[in-house]
Structure 1
Amino acid sequence: MTETRTTCPYCGVGCGVIACEEEGVVSVRGDDAHPANFGRLCVKGAALGETTGLAGRLLHPEVAGQRVSWAHAIDEAGRRLRAIIDEHGPQAVAFYASGQLLTEDYYAANKLMKGFIGAANIDTNSRLCMSSAVTGYKRAFGADVVPCSYDDVENSDLVVLVGSNAAWSHPVLYQRLVKAKQVNPQMQVVVIDPRRTATCDIADRHLAIAPGSDAGLFVGLLREIAQRGAFARQYADAQAARDSAEPWTVARVAEFCGLTEQEVNDFYTAFITAPRAVTLYTMGINQSASGSDKCNAIINVHLACGKFARPGCGPFSLTGQPNAMGGREVGGLATMLAAHMNFEPDDLARVARFWGTERLAQTPGLMAVDLFAAIGRGDVKAVWIMGTNPAVSLPDSHAVCQALAACPLVIVSEVAADTDTSRYAHIRFPALSWGEKNGTVTNSERRISRQRAFLPAPGEAKADWWIIAQMARALGYGDAFRWQHPHAVFCEHAALSGFENHGERAFDISGLANLTRAEWDALAPVRWPVRASGDTLDLQQGWRADKQLRMVPIEPQATHARTGQLYPLLLNSGRIRDQWHTMTRTGTVPRLMQHIAQPMVDVSVQDAEHFQLRDGGFARITSRQGVMVAKVSIQAGQRPGALFVPMHWNACFARQGKVNALVDAVTDPHSGQPESKQVAVRIAPWQPAWQGELISRQPVPLPSHVQWWRKAIDGLHHLTLCGDKIIYDELLLFCQQRNWLVQTARAGSLCHLLAWHEGRLMLGLWSAETLPVIELALITAAFDSAPQTPAERHALLNGRVNGQPAQGRIVCSCFSVGETRIRQAIAGGCTSVDALGQKLKCGTNCGSCVPELRGFIGDVTGHPHPNPLPEGEGTDRTYV
């Protein structure tokens, strides 16, 4: 067995992972020595070994859907790119990259696009999650510097989480917070979120603010700091910021935010009197048409009362992706140059000298939403998309798909053979996946870690930096891209960070520029700066003498979305516990599909009654842009007038399951980040005539009138179906065309069907008016070994063994523990989370299911939640 220290490829916490590989079987465990997680892993990280198979992988280059050699694919792409550049100029070309890329890949892409093609049209999916935070930091500090560490979170007196369901989005950091609060019960935790989430499990206070009203709360806090004489020191524009905050009295804030004056006052007192305070914020703040202002409103209050640049204090933006920070370092956004430099004369000249180019882009390029709009208009005629799925993740996804369909040249570098985006590709490059990649990533606290390869490259898959270097050669720029190993790319990146940098730029890792390959291979996690001349970064005084810290005057804005008679509700979108982005990795892992297996919509009790929605039923959600279908989940902690839907599902995993089909392409004017968190919608119940489960050895074509959701199951195809017309006749014809024997049971709306060929089970359908409960273990066993006795075949046709209780919805994905077993254990005396863990193991690994376990205990025992929320907010059964 070989063991390799590497880094998790999911969220920005940047957990260390030890990957164990033996005869092609991969298992993982947390790295006890890594300072981000100290051995902890969430359920997604713990399941990484289950994502390393080759099923569904893109393994060979393709042109026009046909497999070709690498030489042919590169030459064809280079020829077509060169023709477009020569005819229409460099502005007709764009790259769209990803926070999933390693820093070395990102550096190569940025260098090729900005430095040698000569346009700055390289943006990234980080624009969708972190660009408002970048803008906020740059406006306040003069540089994109995250001023906090995870140690600050653990060593604070007050931790404020705003627009962040960290329990599910950053679970390992959240578990560090849980542990810190256990060690120090005096620590106060405040959650600011329109809905009650799993993060509220440890909250001393939950402020269920009106959607999009966060800036009002923090601008009012700035006024209160001034009113109470708590200003610690003056910064540039402090008076202007105070003047803009003056109208925001407690009464006005309460009205704007939908809170009581008591709730506002109590929060303000807690923040002002706490010796130390950290504010953690993420997509709920950033994904707004005024996200940059919200970020600065948060930064302002930390500057004003001195809770900044000292242990346990600061405004801490949590990064959503594993290497969004690394992408910012190398200039992966269209609005910046490499090494945190800007489109200013000195920086432009400096980068051009370092790269030895006369073609450096001189002005910022198109940001993500504008970039795809330009593709739709025909202004951009070639786009190279690397490691991301904009046909799903960008707002107004129908328009994005139309743009890609009309684009003359779409190149996609991808791991998965089939994604919504790659379906539009003219040329496809097979890229390396986690476990095969070799390079570095930077996490939310500025910590650079190594991601090390421990698996061989499958098929003809190649590293992204290598593909980019080969494309540079095909375009005639090969001399500047002669790297033979990612170590060389990293050292060039590090050298640029220190080039002509005498303290003028905060980002500086020049102390790593001369690492040998062996030293780079062994590089331990390290926070930047890592200067050749010393590693200090004194943000309290400003990171350099002439870069004074600045407060930004903020005028809070209501959400851009406007509800009305036709669209009376506000829709919020976000992540769920066990899935990641557009599911190309996590959607293939059966245990990560157990907790929430299809798109759902959280609805308040009041709205469910008003719109006649049934818990567990279906609803159609419609906006001005599009429509989606989701299961209804009625939640006591959901704010009336607001809905919540997960962002992950796409056309590969669902029909009409894309939330971004609903979202308008409205962006922040400063950061270009879309307002993905609020869109005006309407909702209506939909009662299909039948529902069913279809499991087969091969894909089954379905008519367009059927709604379907794909679910992961090893070696088979599993779809949950529903519709207004049963598909029995279509399935029967499908089986007859293959000479399969069919066994059926039909009675009223019930229709069960099994198809056999030479004694092997080929297909099974279990359908009825309501979704039948089936035992997957029984069915998958039948596909492996056909049942022999009549009783066994009858049980299979029934979908379950008669009299055997179903396990129920899976709550603990780590150990596949279902709701039925949990409730039975509680009824049998396991009336604490610890007792459940001892009996069933649930809650003992990543801890993400603990809030739900507490909810079940409350349901069964009638005992109050051990850390109750304010009166009137009941404990939810499920937290989504």
Structure 2
Amino acid sequence: MNQTETKNRTTQTTCPYCGVGCGVTVNQDSQGLAPVSGDQQHPANFGRLCVKGSSLHETVDHVDRLLYPTVLGKRSSWESSLNLVADKMQQVIQEYGPEAVAIYAAGQILTEDYYVANKLMKGFIGSSNLDTNSRLCMASAVVAHKRAFGSDTVPGCYEDLEEADLLILIGSNAAWAHPILFQRMAAAKQARPDMKVVVIDPRRTATSDLADLQLSIRPGSDAFLFNVLLCWLDHSNALDHDFIANHSEGFEQTLQAARASTPQSLQECAQQLDVDEDDLQTFFQWFTATDKTVSVFSQGINQSSTGVDKGNAIINAHLATGRIGKPGATPFSVTGQPNAMGGREVGGLANQLAAHMDFSGREVDRVRRFWNAPRVVTRPGLKAIDMFDAIKRGEIKFLWIISTNPLVSMPDADDVKVALAKCELVVVSDCMANTDTTAAAHVLLPAASWGEKNGTVTNSERCISRQRSFLSPAGEAKPDWWILSQVAQRLGFGEAFDYQHPADIFDEYSRMTGFENQGERDLDISGLSGLNHDQYDAMAPVQWPVNSQYPQGRQRFFDDHRFYTPSQKAQFIAIKPELPAPRSQDGSLIMNTGRVRDHWHTMTRTAKSARLAQHIREPYVDIHPDDARRLLLADGSLARVSNGRGEILLRAQITTNQRPGEIFVPMHWTSRYASAARMGALIDKSCDPFSGQPELKYTGVEAEPFPTAWQGMILSRSDLGAIPCDYWVYGLNDGCHGYEISGNQPLDSLQQWAQQILPDAEWLTLLDPDTHHMRLLAIVDQQLELVLFVHQDQAIGTRQWLIEQFAQTSLTTSERKALLAGRPLEGVVDHGRMVCSCFGIGENTIRAAVRNGCDAVDTLGETLKCGTNCGSCVPELKTIIRQETELA
């Protein structure tokens, strides 16, 4: 690594994970990188970092990095690879037209990268087929905003979460998905205990720990809930009639539609929502009585076949009470990705043009003149699902995938794999070499990664932050904007893409937002145009707009009651609630999907950190006890979850946090990290008709036991790749690589495989085939090289102690015997499963402290430090305290 090129240097940059957009401080000296810390001055986090952000310095090594361009698996030069890409693109355009070309990008690239991709496709190639994985994240919120406000405007800011007297979290497990925002909410509630928090989610999550009230509504019934609320507000005389009359349109039609869908009695409404009537009434009463109300909605709303209507139903309730544009009173869509907002700004979705402009004749002409572009598109392109379907049909011949992994994240992911196999040329730009999607590419282009990238990102509250580079690119990796510009130049568009620095791109983009913008577009950062490279590098975080009217940025929109519709009034949207289509043809269970605390997307970054891999080692399925009994699933057993599209193998977790008839499966594990856990392969292509956002929260499946003769684990000094057994999961440990394994294969075949990997090792063996019991140890140069333990029922429990033995430089005879026995020597402590990743505190250590009198989270923090940094483990600490108290 090139970490010692710059000595004693401090860099302020931005976290590349969720949409919170936390500032990160990176210190370097002659020894390399120090552990990162939070930027004390950044307005998103004020120095706080979650465990993922705190581990960023552990993810910048070159392991698994894509270091050089490759063509058909062979190393190539940049010149040759770029020529091939440009020549093929040109040939496809000439033979089939520009619509046969497509780009599928990510909400993780920088705004400057997005801008260049969008300009190239929609201004010069003449294809609207540029979409991103933000289509899977927040596309429904975009459409809901545009229908209500006339623009994709997030009205509020993070301070509103702290100023609210009623905070409603709808389809958001913020404790795990947006941990720093959650900690700001938790701190606000601690400071003001009268503040009420309501969680609306079919399942109980870590976020529920903060709730005064949880409504575990029937999946997909959110729009019905908020329609009922609107009727309640009307009956309770809680409407803001002045706002409705003077600053909005469409209220009467919207109220009539809500009444048409609402039963006469609260009891019937509660039955349809499958919640307690008193709880429902409490929620309505709190909303009615509380002016300072913030409704946070996220993926549980957006990732739906009716996500747009759900978003508008929430916004309707705020408009009806005038709770918008005020401190502590706003609807608030929180994005899932670090730069999904930046992509929305520059036209990163197929149904956008650029700079919050769409496809009206006036806007198309404006974009044409600003770019001096020869082929500005005049209509939207194909959204993600339609794009991959068009590839499969042979209509799109050239696909460029940038920094995303659709073979894991897209619905019907195996069908996406079939589609890519039919595409004439698949180009993938990525920082990682070993993903499901890179395996399907013809051309791989190495992209710069976090720490190497220089540009800007925009978070969920419209705050633009600098992402500054502090490392030299790995191998021959290049920034995405450079790669795109080089292809543009080879296509003959050199003058328009002669960028030398990301500051040049940012300046052009900022000027575009102000071009012929007399206040008719919300997005205007023309006040940031004209920055030289030094000024750009020093740019402080700021919320857009930034212009002559708001030179220091603007916290909240719509405080002036001026919207971006033709009438300048907000629009109520009449909603006819619809539950998701029945899934009975696919299975009797409803599968919900989402994130876990310490991993991100498809794990290409977080899996590089040993401490992040320890919190949850395996993909799992949460299932209610009633369903587990019916299906004969035991806690900790393997379950096969399947439907007509495919099957996955997961570890069963029996919990009352799930509603009966519903299961939860995390999204992260890929073919790189598990034998069969790609949940996207089971999800169908149902999507919202307005936004094209897929239904990722409601998939019909069946579940059944997956019986195996044995299960166990492997610890290895080296990465072993796929394991030859029915079930395996890979994860990095501190000092070694780890695998959970299970199967029905003969044990002697597993033994032969291990010994073939290390033919010169010294082997210690304990084998009893009749009881499916095997223990193998490989010793190389007096050091532990590999541990393979297999049991009939379950794997060895003292795993953490075994992991620590890889640090031993020379094993004694007694230590070898202890290793083979799987038990630590007397006096050696096994700390157990990792709970607090920030400080490396294991479950056994925490339980011992609770038994010794640490009966509260605060006292645990004082004694062990757990829970005192990012706070993400606090709900688990409370669970352990409760369990130990019940056992006492």
After TM superposition, give the deviation of residue 660 of structure 1 in Å: 0.8
What TM-score does the superposition give when structure 2 sets the normalisation length?
0.95
| Superposition map of 1:386-465 within 5 A | 386-465=402-481
Is 1:245 aligned with 2:290? no
After TM superposition, give the deviation of residue 789 of structure 1 in Å: 2.4
Q: 1:127·1:333 contact (CA, 8 Å) conserved in 2?
A: yes
- In the other structure, the counterpart of 1:749 is 772
Q: 2:526·2:546 contact (CA, 8 Å) conserved in 1?
A: yes
- In the other structure, the counterpart of 1:853 is 877
- In the other structure, the counterpart of 2:86 is 78
- In the other structure, the counterpart of 1:109 is 117
CA distance in 2: counterparts of 1:26 and 1:728, whole angstroms: 46
Is 1:720 aligned with 2:720? no
- In the other structure, the counterpart of 2:576 is 555
After TM superposition, give the deviation of residue 854 of structure 1 in Å: 1.1
- In the other structure, the counterpart of 1:839 is 863
The DSSP-based 3-state class of the residue aligned with 1:209 is coil
- In the other structure, the counterpart of 1:789 is 812
CA distance in 1: counterparts of 2:724 and 2:422, whole angstroms: 24
Alignment partner of 1:145 out of 143, 153, 158: 153
- In the other structure, the counterpart of 1:352 is 368
Q: 2:783·2:811 contact (CA, 8 Å) conserved in 1?
A: no
Q: 2:599·2:606 contact (CA, 8 Å) conserved in 1?
A: yes
- In the other structure, the counterpart of 1:810 is 834
Shifted more, 161-170 versus 24-33: the winner is 24-33
Is 1:220 aligned with 2:220? no
* CA displacement 1:818-847 (0-9 Å, x = unmatched): 222111111111011011111111111110
Instruction: List gaps (5 residues or longer) in structure 1.
Output: 865-880
- In the other structure, the counterpart of 1:261 is 277
- In the other structure, the counterpart of 2:19 is 12
Q: 2:10·2:28 contact (CA, 8 Å) conserved in 1?
A: yes
After TM superposition, give the deviation of residue 676 of structure 1 in Å: 0.1
- In the other structure, the counterpart of 2:619 is 599
CA distance in 1: counterparts of 2:725 and 2:380, whole angstroms: 46
Aligned residue type for 2:190: Q
Q: 1:649·1:658 contact (CA, 8 Å) conserved in 2?
A: yes
- The alpha-carbon distance between structure 1 residues 727 and 357, as it changes in their structure 2 partners (threshold 3 A), is farther
The DSSP-based 3-state class of the residue aligned with 1:541 is coil
After TM superposition, give the deviation of residue 459 of structure 1 in Å: 1.1
> Sequence identity, in percent?
48
* CA displacement 1:586-622 (0-9 Å, x = unmatched): 0121100111111011111211122111111111111
- In the other structure, the counterpart of 2:5 is none
Q: 2:391·2:397 contact (CA, 8 Å) conserved in 1?
A: yes
The DSSP-based 3-state class of the residue aligned with 1:226 is helix
* CA displacement 1:281-303 (0-9 Å, x = unmatched): 10000000000000000000000
- The alpha-carbon distance between structure 1 residues 701 and 784, as it changes in their structure 2 partners (threshold 3 A), is same
Q: 1:563·1:570 contact (CA, 8 Å) conserved in 2?
A: no
After TM superposition, give the deviation of residue 543 of structure 1 in Å: 3.4
- The alpha-carbon distance between structure 1 residues 83 and 714, as it changes in their structure 2 partners (threshold 3 A), is farther
After TM superposition, give the deviation of residue 784 of structure 1 in Å: 5.1
Is 1:91 aligned with 2:99? yes
Aligned residue type for 1:148: G
CA distance in 1: counterparts of 2:597 and 2:811, whole angstroms: 40
Q: 1:594·1:810 contact (CA, 8 Å) conserved in 2?
A: yes
- In the other structure, the counterpart of 1:199 is 207
- In the other structure, the counterpart of 1:875 is none
The DSSP-based 3-state class of the residue aligned with 1:385 is strand
Is 1:491 aligned with 2:507? yes
* CA displacement 1:444-494 (0-9 Å, x = unmatched): 000000111111112111100000000101211111100100000001010
| Superposition map of 1:474-873 within 5 A | 474-534=490-550, 537-543=557-563, 546-563=567-584, 567-700=587-720, 705-713=725-733, 716-733=736-753, 735-736=755-756, 738-747=759-768, 748-757=771-780, 759-773=782-796, 775=798, 779-780=802-803, 782-783=805-806, 785=808, 787-802=810-825, 804=828, 806-862=830-886
Is 1:2 aligned with 2:9? yes
CA distance in 1: counterparts of 2:140 and 2:788, whole angstroms: 48
- The alpha-carbon distance between structure 1 residues 697 and 808, as it changes in their structure 2 partners (threshold 3 A), is closer
Q: 2:712·2:796 contact (CA, 8 Å) conserved in 1?
A: no
Aligned residue type for 1:8: C
CA distance in 2: counterparts of 1:368 and 1:265, whole angstroms: 40
- In the other structure, the counterpart of 2:3 is none
Aligned residue type for 2:590: L
After TM superposition, give the deviation of residue 777 of structure 1 in Å: 5.8
CA distance in 2: counterparts of 1:198 and 1:733, whole angstroms: 41
- The alpha-carbon distance between structure 1 residues 204 and 627, as it changes in their structure 2 partners (threshold 3 A), is same
After TM superposition, give the deviation of residue 783 of structure 1 in Å: 4.5
After TM superposition, give the deviation of residue 851 of structure 1 in Å: 0.9
The DSSP-based 3-state class of the residue aligned with 2:877 is helix
CA distance in 1: counterparts of 2:775 and 2:495, whole angstroms: 65
The DSSP-based 3-state class of the residue aligned with 1:801 is coil
Alignment partner of 2:320 out of 294, 304, 317: 304
Aligned residue type for 2:833: R
What TM-score does the superposition give when structure 1 sets the normalisation length?
0.95
The DSSP-based 3-state class of the residue aligned with 1:315 is strand
CA distance in 2: counterparts of 1:267 and 1:702, whole angstroms: 50
* CA displacement 1:98-120 (0-9 Å, x = unmatched): 11000000000101111111010
* CA displacement 1:654-696 (0-9 Å, x = unmatched): 0111111111111100000000001011111123111121233
Shifted more, 36-45 versus 398-407: the winner is 398-407
CA distance in 2: counterparts of 1:389 and 1:318, whole angstroms: 22
Q: 1:6·1:451 contact (CA, 8 Å) conserved in 2?
A: yes
- In the other structure, the counterpart of 1:872 is none
CA distance in 2: counterparts of 1:290 and 1:252, whole angstroms: 22
Q: 1:561·1:678 contact (CA, 8 Å) conserved in 2?
A: no
* CA displacement 1:241-282 (0-9 Å, x = unmatched): 000011314344312211133222211111011021000010
- In the other structure, the counterpart of 1:49 is 57
Aligned residue type for 2:561: Q
* CA displacement 1:500-522 (0-9 Å, x = unmatched): 11111111001101112111111
Q: 1:26·1:52 contact (CA, 8 Å) conserved in 2?
A: no
- The alpha-carbon distance between structure 1 residues 257 and 368, as it changes in their structure 2 partners (threshold 3 A), is same
After TM superposition, give the deviation of residue 755 of structure 1 in Å: 2.8
Q: 1:95·1:384 contact (CA, 8 Å) conserved in 2?
A: yes
Q: 1:494·1:508 contact (CA, 8 Å) conserved in 2?
A: yes
CA distance in 2: counterparts of 1:186 and 1:756, whole angstroms: 61
* CA displacement 1:93-147 (0-9 Å, x = unmatched): 1000111000000000101111111010000000001000000000000000000
CA distance in 2: counterparts of 1:701 and 1:241, whole angstroms: 56
Q: 1:141·1:542 contact (CA, 8 Å) conserved in 2?
A: no
- The alpha-carbon distance between structure 1 residues 777 and 823, as it changes in their structure 2 partners (threshold 3 A), is closer
Q: 1:778·1:796 contact (CA, 8 Å) conserved in 2?
A: no
The DSSP-based 3-state class of the residue aligned with 1:298 is helix
Instruction: List gaps (5 residues or longer) in structure 2.
Output: 1-7
